[in-house]
A = this chain, B = another copy of it.
Amino acid sequence: MTSQRPIPTLQDVATRAGVSTATVSRAINFPDQVAQVTRDKVHATIAELGYSPNFGARAMAARRTNTIGAIIPTMENAIFARGLEAFQEELRSNGFTMLVASTAYQPDTEEEQIRSLVARGADALLLIGYHRDPAIYDFLDAQDVPVLLTWAFEPEATRPSVGFNNSAAMKAMAEKVIGMGHRRLALISAETAQNDRASRRCDGIRQAMNAAGLDSDTLCFVETKYGIDEGAAAFDQIMAHEPRPTAVFCGNDVLAVGALRRARERGIAVPGDVSIIGFDDIELAQVVYPALTTVHVPHREMGRKAGKVLVNHLRDGVALEPVELQTRLVFRDTLGPP
């Protein structure tokens, strides 16, 4: 046991520097309100004592934290990583801190994380997608915590979001695929029940099919959990279907990569025997072989924009402004004629 010198407080700094706590506080938070010489003395003392302000006390006294919470479904597989990184950079450069939490795609966990971040004093929250229990929104409204949604954008939605139109994006891709002559389509989707991005992407394909005069009920639909192995297993299911689909859409790139791996393992040629299409355009999409045709989502831009919108709101009181971003179809090597 080393002798426990107690953790220094503001008071300790004040005493040692021979000033009041108010002055120390100002020297830290509003340096230009303090005379140069005093400021230097205070900062020297802070360094000497290794003082570091207590966040809880500060939050309580100031009633804000300059902290913004972000809750994402998963930290694996980089789907959200790039966007979040840009979000964080934007916040940091404006003096805000990001707190991340992930939910493993469990609504209960999301609720728990939301409460935890709010209790921690998050000044605002960034959440993925629209769908969640209305009680959660009520809670956030009651707590007066601004919420910005992202990764989705619905023109008619009431909650502000910075994102893209999932159904329109997938529809655009489906139109291209149908335009190439594909008629027997399949979709490996993430679980749609609690996930509006997944269900909207599914809608997009059906819309394109209907518009092209195809019966959208013929879509060979498999829903699965998130993961490469899950994508592989789902691909097997789809290949068992008669007549065999010629184009397999995937709700995200991770599932697509799993499907692609399985196709190779089974000796099914891509895109010779079957085309595979992803969604997201994560780095992985360019690395697999053959390189994945997919829908490019502007992750970094989305993160940065979301950060800007929240900072503007928190700092300048600007209303949370919805922003729609555009996706882009990226044709690589896994899509060919049927």
The stretch among A78-86, A183-191, A323-331 that forms the contact with chain B is A78-86
A residues 135-190 near B (Cβ < 8 Å) are 138-139, 141-144
A19 CB–B CB distance under 8 Å: no
Q: Which residues of B contact A261 (CB under 8 A)?
A: 286-287
What 1/0 flags go to A94-110 for Cβ under 8 Å of B? 00010110101000000
Contact of A118 among B52, B75, B260, B288 (CB under 8 A): B52
State whether A144 touches B76 (Cβ < 8 A): no
State whether A141 touches B54 (Cβ < 8 A): no
Give the docked Cα–Cα distance between A6 and B120 (Å).
17
Whether A228 touches B288, Cβ cut-off 8 Å, given contacts A77-B78, A100-B100, A115-B52, is: no
State whether B144 touches A7 (Cβ < 8 A): yes
A33 CB–B CB distance under 8 Å: no
A193 CB–B CB distance under 8 Å: no
State whether B286 touches A287 (Cβ < 8 A): no
Size of the chain A interface, CB-CB below 8 angstroms? 52
Whether A287 touches B144, Cβ cut-off 8 Å, given contacts A56-B60, A60-B57, A81-B76, is: no
A284 CB–B CB distance under 8 Å: yes
State whether B121 touches A56 (Cβ < 8 A): yes
Q: Which residues of B contact A287 (CB under 8 A)?
A: 228, 257-258, 260-261, 284, 288
Give the docked Cα–Cα distance between A104 and B88 (Å).
11
Whether A2 touches B141, Cβ cut-off 8 Å, given contacts A52-B119, A228-B287, is: yes
Q: Which of A56, A115, A121, A289 has the most CB of B within 10 A?
A: A56
Give the docked Cα–Cα distance between A77 and B284 (Å).
9
Give the docked Cα–Cα distance between A75 and B261 (Å).
25
The residue in chain B whose Cβ has the minimal distance to the Cβ of A57 is B60
The residue in chain B whose Cβ has the minimal distance to the Cβ of A145 is B7
Q: Which residues of B contact A55 (CB under 8 A)?
A: 56, 59, 116, 119-121
State whether A121 touches B7 (Cβ < 8 A): no
The residue in chain B whose Cβ has the minimal distance to the Cβ of A289 is B289
Give the docked Cα–Cα distance between A82 and B118 (Å).
26
A residues 248-297 near B (Cβ < 8 Å) are 257-258, 260-261, 264, 283-284, 286-289
The residue in chain B whose Cβ has the minimal distance to the Cβ of A5 is B142
State whether B75 touches A85 (Cβ < 8 A): yes
A18 CB–B CB distance under 8 Å: no
CB distance from A12 to the nearest CB of B (A): 12
State whether A121 touches B77 (Cβ < 8 A): no
List 8 A-B pairs, minimum CB-CB distance, nearest first. A56-B56, A56-B59, A55-B119, A56-B60, A289-B289, A55-B120, A76-B81, A75-B81
Give 15 pairs: A residue, B residue, CB < 8 Å, sorted on A. Answer: A5-B142, A7-B143, A52-B143, A53-B119, A55-B59, A55-B120, A55-B121, A56-B57, A56-B59, A56-B121, A75-B81, A75-B100, A76-B78, A228-B287, A287-B288
Interface positions of A (Cβ within 8 A of B): 2, 4-5, 7, 50, 52-60, 75-78, 81-82, 84-85, 88, 97, 99-100, 102, 104, 115-116, 118-121, 138-139, 141-144, 228, 257-258, 260-261, 264, 283-284, 286-289
